[in-house]
Amino acid sequence: MTPSEIITADCKKHNIDPQKVLGVIAQFLQNETGHIFQVGNTVLFVRMISDENAELHIFTQDSPIAIAKAVPKFWNALKQMQIKKVYGNADNQEILQLLQKLGANVQAPDIEGYNWMAEV
């Protein structure tokens, strides 16, 4: 699947308008404050919120096992981008547990609007 197909399917699964989400992502990609990484049928959208900090969103059509295999690859990509902290609003606690197993210090966020952060 292409990134847009994965994002569309994930949005539909969560009753979110995929065209709005794809439009917003396209804007961030165009002004270079957004980045997309794909492993299998899982997409990580990274939105830079400062030079060193980013917001993360995962869109997937993969099984939990495939997602678990993708997360370390995404984490390595974030390290290569030299990002210091990442933020998100996780509705899947297993993702946060995977990050902790990778050595991420997942904790309460220091910015409002998120329910977790981790140092990369």
Helix ranges (H only) for 1-120 are 3-13, 18-30, 64-80, 93-101
Enumerate domains of the chain plus CATH numbers. 3-119 (3.40.630.30)
Per residue in 42-100, pLDDT (tens digit) is 999 999 999 999 999 999 999 989 998 999 999 999 999 999 999 999 877 888 888 88
Interacting residues of 68 by C-beta distance below 8 A, sequence separation 6+: 94, 98
pTM assigned to the model = 0.93
The DSSP letter of residue 83 is -
